[in-house]
Amino acid sequence: MEPRNDEPVFIPLNPEEKNVEKFRREINRQRGINLTDYQDLHAYSVHPDTIEDFWQDVWDYVDIKASKLSKLVFYSFGS
């Protein structure tokens, strides 16, 4: 029997402890926004008005070290 479309295929143990949830909460804290779940985080990551903020958040959260600022890297990739 296949799962129905509205039922999750997998539910992790302690989802609040997963890195993606910690990242979502950190974005909320840093930016003063209210991403409530993974779907909100995904929408934030692909929306034209927030995609640059998302990638800056990734850059900062994982503490990337580079010789150029993240926005410069993003712009050179996107142009």
Answer for the pair 74, 68: CB distance below 8 angstroms, yes or no: no
pLDDT digits (tens, 9 = 90+) for 28-56: 999 999 999 999 999 999 998 999 899 89
The CA-CA-CA angle for residues 62, 69, 64, to 5°, reads 20
- At 35, the amino acid letter reads L
pTM of the model: 0.73
* Cα separation, 70 vs 52, whole angstroms: 9
pLDDT digits (tens, 9 = 90+) for 49-60: 999 899 899 989
In 3-state terms, what secondary structure has residue 64? Answer: coil
* Cα separation, 19 vs 22, whole angstroms: 5
